[in-house]
Amino acid sequence: MARGWESKAVADQIEEGNPARPDDSARAAQTNEERQRRQRIESLNLSKSRLLQQLDRATNPSYRKVLMNGLEAIESEIEGLTKT
């Protein structure tokens, strides 16, 4: 039993000697932001592919124009997210 307590005391001393680095939280936040950015790009790419499919089938010129405007907006947002 004494060894168990001794091991715990040593482990506590090691933890106290190696505090968590302050930049860990910044790195985690950056990773979270990067993950969110990648998810947004993926979502936009899916929307883009859906719009392209609709555009292939659309015959009404005014509906095609609406689809083209949406496609341009999505492409510009993707471009903005990939540049940063």
Domain ranges (residues) in the chain: 26-84
* pTM for the model: 0.63
Asked if residues 54 and 70 have their Cβ atoms less than 8 Å apart, the reply is no
pLDDT at 38: 94
pLDDT at 51: 97
pLDDT at 8: 65
User: Which parts of the chain sit beneath pLDDT 70?
Assistant: 1-11, 13, 15, 17-26, 84
Within a 10 A sphere around the Cβ of 70, how many other Cβ atoms? 16
Give the end-to-end CA distance of the chain in Å, rounded to a whole number.
57
Query: Rounded distance, CA 46 to CA 49, Å?
Result: 5
Q: What is the dihedral of CA 41, 43, 46, 52, to 10 degrees?
A: -70
Query: Rounded distance, CA 69 to CA 58, Å?
Result: 14
List, in order, residues 6 or more apart from 52 with CB less than 8 Å away: 71
